[in-house]
Structure 1
Amino acid sequence: MTSDETRLQNIEQTLAHQDQHIQDLSDMVNQQWQEIDRLKKSLSRTEARLGNLETPEEESGDITHEVPPHY
């Protein structure tokens, strides 16, 4: 092999490795976005439940926030 052929082969190998790294990073970013979306949905549900506990609807008959009669 000549010097140019060796150099070209090294460049092609480097490019192939970089392509694989880019694909791996892309897969990781995709997984992270899916996890972020899952966590956002979970947080939204948790906030809604917390909001319901803080401001119960009078129609539901929930008396958890009333002062006990002995006070």
Structure 2
Amino acid sequence: MVEITELGYIGISVSDAEAWKAYATEVVGFELVEEDGETDRFYLRMDEMHHRIVVITVGVDDDTVVHLIHA
């Protein structure tokens, strides 16, 4: 069995991107690092990595992607 050592990133599908952006940056304290208007997504981080969370606007709220780093 593969041992997971850390979280790479998580992707979340949302219906209200602006609400998520406000909550993530103003309440939780994540840094908004990039917005891609062509694909309706934005990237958040809380450490030195480029991003830990990608939020994708698709009209429904759902978890879509989890990328785990293993040894």
Give the TM-score taking structure 1 as reference length: 0.16
- Higher Rg: 1
Question: Which of the two has greater strand per residue?
Answer: 2
Higher relative contact order (CA 8 A, sep 6+): 2
Give the TM-score taking structure 2 as reference length: 0.16
